Structure 1
Amino acid sequence: MTRSGYAVLTTSAILTALGLTLGYPELTLAGLAGAGTLATALIWMLARPGLSAERVLEPERVFEGETVVSRLTIRNQKPLRTPPLTGRQELVGQLVPITVPALPPYGSVVETRTLHPVRRGVYPIPPVRLGHSDPFRLIASTGLTGTPVTLRVYPVPYPVAPLPNPHLQDADGLTSDPVLGGVTFHSLRDYHEGDDWRLVHWASSARAGRLIVRHNVLADEVHHCIVLDTSSAAYPDPQAFDDAVRLAASWCLAGFEAGANVLVKTTAGDEATTVPHGRPPSRPTAVLDLLASVAPHHQSPGIESVNAILSAHRGRALGVITGHTAADKLAALASPARPVSVVQIGVTDGPGPVLPGMRLVRALDGERAVVRWNRLVPA
């Protein structure tokens, strides 16, 4: 009930009580008229308009600064004309008012808005909240209509050279993924967006309750593993962490465009992978989805967990992105038998220590790190 409704209810009760107490039928009649108005408003509110809302984002995944078009379609699902309605919607963290005109039976209206997200992140967009009121504005109610959607904003990549291919061999002389030639079955894995449906292993999918695909490898298949340090202690400046995420996305895109299988892992335990073979998507969606949502955390073990990750993926092109890291912990990553590329962001510019098996770039921000990296490893 609105403030006007409470005022009418209070006034009607007072007038009716005074009229009956003092014997003034005019006051009683005025009080009953107010009560009748409230009753009429209540009956009106029982006929709730049957509206549905459907929102479409075009596209649902963008890079920072790109434009997103939000199309909200509101339909009248009843054979009665609806009254004009007002409401509000939350778009990328902002409350935006919305006005719905009177709709004919089964009619619809489309509201279009252009969004310009400027920061990396995952933005849940909840259903629309529409308000319904009687003609006297005495009673009002609001409710959520539609289903939520999610907008993912990726970090803008730098123009960076991909990780260099290691061409390493195991002790027995075989590569970490031995293939005699051609296309060979390697393993089963979960389905990722963009995978060829012809690779679905239906028997395994039925047993697992989710889609499982065959992972085939090529004789010259290249694998990249990128590890992002997500410990908050490594990034006193939040901008340094954003630059680190941008560099991770840049390495991913550069490797993906070069035809490499790209695996991204964080020191917090998150991971995503993309395989460009077969029918490649236009971008490594799973990897970029992870980097859109990643954030520094004080519980992340940080650089101390990187060595185990690198050892588990020996034979791949390995890259590590971190911030402030103790010299002894950084030196522990160096191994002549397992080359690794390391970029420190948010530290003083200048050459770092020369460590066996490690390409090390140190820079104050992401742009300077990219310049130094591209000089070290030309594309």
Structure 2
Amino acid sequence: MPPGGIRSHLAITLRTHRHGEVIVGPPTLVQTDPFGLCRRTTTSGDGRRLLVRPRIVAVGRLAKTSRIRSSAGGRGTPGDSGDYDALRAYELGDDHRLIHWPNSARTGQILVRRHVASPAREFVILHDTTPAAYASLEDFEEAVDFSASVVTAVTRLGHALRLGTTTSEGVWSWSGGERCTADDIARVFASIQPAEPRRASGPVGTAALRTSVRRALVRSATCTVVTGEPSAQLLQALKDSAFPMRLILVCLGPHRPSDEVVRWAQPRGTAVIDSTDARGAAVQWSMLTEAAR
């Protein structure tokens, strides 16, 4: 407390166009006499770690019902409808709710139900974190804003969703009915940053996508790929016949997609969105999803 018992409040406005982790402080107080002869500097406390979340833009006419089915179970797990056609041995990673306890006790081996219906397919967002895909960091930030906005909108409607990147192994998931909060957005997208060039380079083909990301794409009903100018490696990876998905390619940047991208998209029936900012891309994306009802 300052001399004389007067409380003071210091407010600092942080202006940044970058999302992710920012260290603020520690605050430093500089005092001088009126003539500038004496100077005293006092540092108080420690620096604070802040998470700057992406800007969320409105995703307009997104349908409240869609062809995307959400899972009824927990995070990324199939729900238990009670209908199954066989039992099999438990494997690491199986949902514990699928264990058939009577037969497990009788045989002495943990058995799980194998359902007739395949697990519900999920919505997938694949965010391109290859630096060469973007003309500038501002374009990358616009892409992050768009991805975060779609994650927020889709989970708000109760759809199951997975989010992955092109240069990392991590995949984040939200099960059906699970909201993505502002804290989730700040924490998850703080990890989504442009990769180092040495990490971004990789072999041509499906190896351009990490194993966990490929698994998410295989089980997806529809996928939105958010990028700037997609690389030949990424386009080649997305041609994998194991991906039974409806694909939307969102290109954010100052230039329209190249002729190569358009030629790649047309025979696949892939929708291509091009916009200079997240707001324009969100409008186009919501119109596409509304038309697909």
3-state SS of the aligned residue for 1:120? coil
3-state SS of the aligned residue for 1:378? helix
Cα deviation digits, residues 90-135 of structure 1 (max 9, x gap): xxxxxxxxxxxx523xx35222436363523333211222357899
Deviation at 1:272, TM superposition (A): 6.4
Q: Distance in 2 between matches of 1:264 and 1:136?
A: 59
- 1:359 aligns to 2:270 (yes or no): yes
What does residue range 25-36 of structure 1 map to in structure 2 within 5 Å? none
Q: For residues 330 and 142 of structure 1, do their structure 2 counterparts lie closer, same or farther at Cα, with a shift above 3 Å needed?
A: same
Deviation at 1:333, TM superposition (A): 0.7
Q: Distance in 1 between matches of 2:281 and 2:267?
A: 18
Cα deviation digits, residues 204-251 of structure 1 (max 9, x gap): xxxxxxxxxxxxxxx997744322111111112333212211111111
**Partner AA of 1:109 in structure 2:** R
Q: For residues 165 and 110 of structure 1, do their structure 2 counterparts lie closer, same or farther at Cα, with a shift above 3 Å needed?
A: farther
Q: 1:186 aligns with which of 92, 95, 100?
A: 95
The match for 2:219 is 315
The answer to whether the 8 A contact 1:320-1:341 is kept is yes
**Partner AA of 1:289 in structure 2:** R
CA RMSD of aligned residues (A): 4.3
Q: For residues 112 and 132 of structure 1, do their structure 2 counterparts lie closer, same or farther at Cα, with a shift above 3 Å needed?
A: closer
The match for 2:248 is 341
Query: Which one has the largest radius of gyration?
Result: 1
Relative contact order higher in (CA < 8 Å, ≥ 6 apart)? 2
Q: Distance in 2 between matches of 1:220 and 1:273?
A: 18
The match for 1:378 is 290
Unaligned runs of 5+ in 1: 1-74, 76-101, 169-175, 188-218
What does residue range 183-332 of structure 1 map to in structure 2 within 5 Å? 186=95, 223-269=122-168, 271=170, 273=172, 275=174, 283-292=181-190, 294-297=192-195, 298-301=197-200, 305-306=208-209, 308-313=211-216, 314-316=218-220, 317-327=222-232, 329-332=234-237
TM-score, normalised relative to structure 1: 0.49
What does residue range 111-150 of structure 1 map to in structure 2 within 5 Å? 111-113=9-11, 115=13, 117=15, 119-121=17-19, 122-131=21-30, 141-150=40-49
Q: For residues 261 and 115 of structure 1, do their structure 2 counterparts lie closer, same or farther at Cα, with a shift above 3 Å needed?
A: farther
Q: For residues 114 and 272 of structure 1, do their structure 2 counterparts lie closer, same or farther at Cα, with a shift above 3 Å needed?
A: farther
The answer to whether the 8 A contact 1:227-1:320 is kept is yes
Unaligned runs of 5+ in 2: 71-75, 83-93, 97-117
Q: Distance in 2 between matches of 1:302 and 1:249?
A: 25
- Counting strand residues as a fraction of each chain, which structure ranks higher? 1
Q: Distance in 1 between matches of 2:250 and 2:200?
A: 18
What does residue range 55-134 of structure 1 map to in structure 2 within 5 Å? 75=1, 102-104=2-4, 107=5, 109-113=7-11, 115=13, 117=15, 119-121=17-19, 122-131=21-30
Q: Distance in 1 between matches of 2:285 and 2:44?
A: 50
TM-score, normalised relative to structure 2: 0.61
Cα deviation digits, residues 36-57 of structure 1 (max 9, x gap): xxxxxxxxxxxxxxxxxxxxxx
Q: For residues 179 and 140 of structure 1, do their structure 2 counterparts lie closer, same or farther at Cα, with a shift above 3 Å needed?
A: same
Q: Distance in 1 between matches of 2:30 and 2:137?
A: 40
**Partner AA of 2:3 in structure 1:** L
Q: Distance in 1 between matches of 2:208 and 2:182?
A: 25
**Partner AA of 2:13 in structure 1:** L
Q: Distance in 2 between matches of 1:348 and 1:294?
A: 24
